[in-house]
Amino acid sequence: MPDIAAFTAELAGVEQSTDAALLRQKSRDFYWYSPILKRQLDGKRADIWLRPQNEDEVMRILNAARRHGVPITVRGGATGNYGQCVPLNAGAVLDTTAMTAPIALKDGVLEAEAGARMIDLDLWARERGWELRLWPSTKRTATIAGFVAGGGAGVGGISHGTMRERGNLLGVRVATLQDPPALLDLEGDAANPVNRTYGTTGVITRVRLPLTPAQDWRDIAVVFSDFAAAGRFALALAFADGIPKKMCAVFDARLPPFFRAIADVVPADHALALVMVAPSGLVALRDMAREHSGRIMADQDTVAAERDPEATPFYEYCWNHTTLQVLKRDRGVTYLQCRFPFEGTLESVEKVRAAFPDEVWMHTECVRFGGRTTMTALPVIRWKDDARLAEIMAGFEAAGAGIANPHVFTIEEGSGYRRVPGDQLGFKRRVDPLGLFNPGKMKSFDEPESDAA
Ligand SMILES: Cc1cc2nc3c(=O)[nH]c(=O)nc-3n(C[C@H](O)[C@H](O)[C@H](O)COP(=O)(O)OP(=O)(O)OC[C@H]3O[C@@H](n4cnc5c(N)ncnc54)[C@H](O)[C@@H]3O)c2cc1C
């Protein structure tokens, strides 16, 4: 057992707390979406919460952690879904939310401190004519480094792919637990070992990302009498190179009633597509909706909505917000993450819907991977038990979909098609030889005899 008292004695002046209620709160994320993770992770607690103000304080914490063998679990906005920032072996939670400064924007490249909220960075960049290429639907809470280390897909994916795409992450500065702890600047492919590795390979202190010219995005809701028509429209939009777009999601008719601000405009038993297009794409979007027998029922300014705490940008009904909107009123559901094949995408979606007509409420998102376009999905699933969930996952796979299982907490078991290439295990061995960064989350390191690598 590490000597926490000796560890904290070295950290005078660093913001910290051992208050039990605060530790409970600061040791959680959104793992409770999964009844399986809830069972496994409820009650896990850090011994101490630390909130460094800058890199110097991060290095003081890491030097003390190395001397006293204290596990370090990094925490940003804590919106992760797989218990990524839940400390399995207690120790310290290192909270990055005081390190929020945008540092530079030059030639369309943004550099920022790790704990900056994505909404703040986007608005800061917008004032300078640029915007983020990608953001999660938790943009209003999530931090930039949390997105790199724990997420990586979302709004913008229909045009720019995911964070695993070469060029979407340009570099990071990362603090290590080597002997002695060090700050490393990693550029390009060299940054892959911290991309979606859940804080197991160091504390990111700075991130460098490419931006894209800012657009005045419009949120548009289009309704369809059936899901298949909505799917055809969505994929046609995803492939429409002449329409500048940021998002296109499709929802089973059972989902819109959970979307508070637009529920009333979606007729009963109608499927819904929520899209974000630039003003220059509106005419073509209307034509495309008409061609697919869709009706535009609502329309708002995305940026105005996200700046207004009372309003809901449509992306907060999309991605993994869909599940949250349902869970707010019905705790009997959970979800899955999957990617449909590049060929026969819609046929594969329909096979799953036909196999599980009652338990799977389909929700798809159009995304590019390696230059090809398909649909990923975060369907809402009526929860029964572990065995039934496994059957449903097998059903998705039988229909040609790949699963990124959101009901496990290790990188190797969960990430599936979202795994970033590179020698993450080798890097971990180099920068964290004592295994103190987020222990239990990189299976190939913690259980080298397993075939998880
Ligand atoms: C309602 C809802 C919707 C969501 N939608 C999306 C979505 O659209 N796309 C998507 O990708 N994800 C989504 N997520 C998951 C999550 O919101 C995102 O991945 C988000 O970017 C995480 O950022 P965060 O700051 O909250 O990270 P946290 O939850 O705080 O951390 C995530 C992981 O990154 C590590 N980490 C955090 N900061 C650092 C750092 N500085 N250095 C090293 N490691 C660090 C943590 O240890 C943890 O393992 C959603 C979650 C919810 C609850």
User: What does the pLDDT profile of the chain (453 residues) look like in tens digits?
Assistant: 899 999 999 999 999 999 999 999 999 999 999 999 999 999 999 999 999 999 999 999 999 999 999 999 999 999 999 999 999 999 999 999 999 999 999 999 999 999 999 999 999 999 999 999 999 999 999 999 999 999 999 999 999 999 999 999 999 999 999 999 999 999 999 999 999 999 999 999 999 999 999 999 999 999 999 999 999 999 999 999 999 999 999 999 999 999 999 999 999 999 999 999 999 999 999 999 999 999 999 999 999 999 999 999 999 999 999 999 999 999 999 999 999 999 999 999 999 999 999 999 999 999 999 999 999 999 999 999 999 999 999 999 999 999 999 999 999 998 777 788 889 999 999 999 999 999 999 999 998 876 554
Ligand 1: which residue has its CA nearest to atom 50?
320
Measure the CA–CA gap between 398 and 354, rounded to whole angstroms. Answer: 13
Please report, as a single letter, which amino acid is at residue 380: V
Q: What does each C-alpha distance from 245 to 54, 112, 158, 296 come to in angstroms?
A: 37, 26, 7, 16
Spatial neighbors of 182 by CB under 8 A, at least 6 apart, are 175, 176
Check residue 440 and give its pLDDT: 97
Query: How far, in Å, from the CA of 78 to the mean position of ligand 1?
Result: 6
Report domain 102-213's class: alpha beta
pTM: 0.97
Check residue 452 and give its pLDDT: 54
What the block records as the tokens of 79 is 């919106």
Query: How far, in Å, from the CA of 146 to the mean position of ligand 1?
Result: 4
Measure the CA–CA gap between 357 and 353, rounded to whole angstroms. Answer: 5
Chosen CATH of 218-403 out of 3.30.70.1380, 3.40.50.720, 3.40.462.40, 3.40.190.10: 3.40.462.40
Q: Check if 146 has its Cβ closer than 6 Å to any atom of ligand 1.
A: yes
Check residue 410 and give its pLDDT: 96
Q: Check if 198 has its Cβ closer than 6 Å to any atom of ligand 1.
A: yes
Q: Check if 199 has its Cβ closer than 6 Å to any atom of ligand 1.
A: yes
Report domain extents, the chain.
102-213, 218-403
Check residue 422 and give its pLDDT: 86
Please give the number of the atom of ligand 1 that sits closest to the Cα of 152.
11
| Cα Rg of the chain, angstroms | 22
Q: Check if 157 has its Cβ closer than 6 Å to any atom of ligand 1.
A: no
Which residue is listed with tokens 């917000």?
Answer: 321
